[in-house]
Chain A
Amino acid sequence: MINTIKSTKKITVLLLSFLLLLLTLSAQANSCEGSSVNNSVSVHCGEAPSATFDQDGRLWITFVQDQHVYVSHSDDSGKTYSTAVVVNPVAEDAEHNGENRPKIIVDADSNIYVSWTRKTSPRFTGEIRFSRSMDGGRTFDAPRTINDDELFTGHRFESLFLTESGHLYLTWIDKRDLEASVELGRDYSGAAVYFAVSSDQGASFSENYRVANNSCECCRIAIAPRGPENIAILWRQIFGVTTRDHAIAVLTPDGKTMEMGRASYDEWQIDACPHHGPTMIQSGLSGDYHISWFTNGDLHQGIYYARYSFDSNTPEQVFRVDGNAGASHPYLAEYGNTLYLLWKAFDGQNVNISLITSADDGASWTKPKILQSTSEGSDHPLIVKSENGLYLSWHSEELGYLFEKFTADTAGVRLGD
């Protein structure tokens, strides 16, 4: 009798343990909460992830957790991840928000490049940090600071891009010219855009080059290729005294800035921080540039799309994507001659990730449909492209890190909830 009770107890304990294990596993598969070990390092528990595929189809991600930048990979397109490898062994205040996240690129030789912004004080100061792995992600070089002015001032909102020619570009928002003006007692609006280039797989970087004075001080910069070795960049610039619309320019590996133009005419007269950078890709069909951005100007309000040609130097096919308040953070991608644009919007209850597509290089667009939604806090949505298609990369408190394939035909998820 006693034995029976004991064995029943044992079975119950075993069953309970099994259930607990199942619960833990299912929790780990999505949200961070309920994870078996508190403070365990994972992309679900970390913040502001970025992702990219290498040429073998392996997914690489970087994210920030507890003042460390981590890199992890996945061989099943985001279902499971390898143990994260730390990039900065010494903790530092790596920025981890929608506009300011760590970036990751893997080249054809499987070298991994990672960049981020280190906050050096709460008062808008920071440094542009870079590290690389030359052994396929097992170890990372000691992080280096790329801004070369040695000033305790703002160097933030970095972007990283690798061209076909193998030139690795870093662009960022820089306040060294503001500092210099202040010392001379002169007014200076906003900040400046700077860049540096590496031609030796990140072993060294060029000096820092200035692209433009008087940029907006708090918006990420978008990058797309312009030929095999140059890049086009799109950023929010202060035109005149207070107009914060977009500028576009081409940068070269030897530090030149060319073809500077104005990419948006919204007349947003504002002395404020929109914290809202644009997105840009080059069209595979026409070679023009698809751009999308947020504005609240006199002429335009909401999320906009346009096609920019360096031949005409004007934004064309200007299209209001979403004029509702709460629409934000668009992201563009092209796959199989179809153009995809997704963005985030709040409807009063949920944040929805909406998608529209264009089959004619941005001349006309489908009606929006909702891909995902959440009723908790979430990151900006990103698109990651592989040879096989496009993936939504989106971190939220409710769903953890979501990495999900979608197409123009993907049925709206959670619609009608």
Chain B
Amino acid sequence: MISSRLNFPILLRLAAGIFLFAFAAIAAADNFKPFNADSFQEIKSSYEGQEFLLGLWSVDCPPCLVELEFMARILELNPEIPYVLISTDAIEQREVSAEYLEDLGFTERESWMFADSFVERLRFSIDQNWYGELPRSYFFDTNHAMKSHSGIVSKQLLQEWFSRTLFFE
């Protein structure tokens, strides 16, 4: 008797949960992966032996959008560049970030979003010497030796970093 009385709200909650989950999946039509304290190692492992570029950005950073526009053009001319995006905005606010990336044509790019409110730990997991300023870029050579840059990246810097010849025009 008691159990049947309890079951009803549980079922209701389950139903509501399934509905919300389905709704969230529709609303979040992006490819953001949740970035937590282990994600940086995961990204590095997936590019083992390869050069790659990491771009950190936020919707609350005007220069980041200038850089993303610049990178969109670079990637148009050099589509094979391994470029991974990490947004330092909370993944709960993914819709707005997704909108930006869609406008810039980054929908297919590997993209992460901070998924832990303890942001100091997330920043630390990437680079102990990073103060949090944005945009922030990291380049990894084939041995994964890391080079960093704060502020908008330039053509010169990208060419300095990548061993391949990049097209700029």
Most buried by A among B96, B129, B133: B133
Indicate if the CB atoms of B132 and A328 lie closer than 8 Å. yes
Within 8 Å CB of B66, what residues of A? 271
Indicate if the CB atoms of B130 and A325 lie closer than 8 Å. yes
Within 8 Å CB of B61, what residues of A? 218, 272-273, 275
Indicate if the CB atoms of B121 and A346 lie closer than 8 Å. yes
Indicate if the CB atoms of B151 and A376 lie closer than 8 Å. no
| Cα distance A124–B100 in the bound complex, in angstroms | 13
CB nearest to A190 among chain B residues: B62
Partner pick for B151 among A217, A272, A375, CB 8 A cutoff: A272
Within 8 Å CB of A397, what residues of B? 117-118
Q: Is A270 an interface residue (CB 8 A)?
A: yes
Segment 314-339 of A: residues with Cβ below 8 Å from B: 325-326, 328
Q: Is A240 an interface residue (CB 8 A)?
A: no
Q: Is A294 an interface residue (CB 8 A)?
A: yes
A399 → chain B closest CB, angstroms: 13
Segment 258-276 of A: residues with Cβ below 8 Å from B: 269-276
Segment 13-65 of B: residues with Cβ below 8 Å from A: 58-64
| A326-B124, A377-B117 given; A273·B64 CB < 8 A | yes
| A124-B60, A376-B117, A377-B117 given; A273·B133 CB < 8 A | yes
A268 → chain B closest CB, angstroms: 9
| Cα distance A274–B62 in the bound complex, in angstroms | 11
Q: Is A122 an interface residue (CB 8 A)?
A: yes
Q: Is A416 an interface residue (CB 8 A)?
A: no
| Cα distance A275–B89 in the bound complex, in angstroms | 13
Q: Is B143 an interface residue (CB 8 A)?
A: no
Number of interface residues of A (CB under 8 A): 26
Partner pick for A272 among B96, B117, B119, B150, CB 8 A cutoff: B150
Segment 128-169 of B: residues with Cβ below 8 Å from A: 128-136, 150-152
Indicate if the CB atoms of A270 and B150 lie closer than 8 Å. yes
Q: Is B102 an interface residue (CB 8 A)?
A: no
CB nearest to A295 among chain B residues: B131
| Cα distance A242–B99 in the bound complex, in angstroms | 29
| Cα distance A348–B118 in the bound complex, in angstroms | 11
Within 8 Å CB of A276, what residues of B? 131-133
Indicate if the CB atoms of A272 and B133 lie closer than 8 Å. yes
Indicate if the CB atoms of A271 and B133 lie closer than 8 Å. no
Q: Is B120 an interface residue (CB 8 A)?
A: yes
Indicate if the CB atoms of A272 and B152 lie closer than 8 Å. yes
| A270-B133, A273-B60, A275-B133 given; A326·B151 CB < 8 A | no
CB<8 Å pairs between A and B, sample of 20: A122-B99, A124-B62, A269-B151, A270-B133, A270-B150, A271-B66, A272-B63, A272-B152, A273-B60, A273-B63, A274-B131, A274-B133, A276-B131, A294-B131, A325-B130, A325-B131, A326-B124, A326-B128, A328-B131, A376-B118
Binding site for B on A (CB under 8 A): 122-124, 217-218, 242, 269-276, 294, 296, 325-326, 328, 346, 348, 351, 375-377, 397
The 4 closest A-B pairs by CB, nearest first: A377-B117, A346-B120, A271-B151, A273-B61
- Known: A274-B132, A326-B131, A346-B120; 20 extra A-B contacts, CB below 8 A, are A122-B59, A124-B60, A272-B150, A273-B58, A273-B60, A273-B133, A273-B134, A276-B131, A325-B128, A325-B129, A325-B130, A326-B124, A328-B131, A346-B123, A346-B124, A348-B124, A348-B128, A351-B118, A377-B118, A397-B117
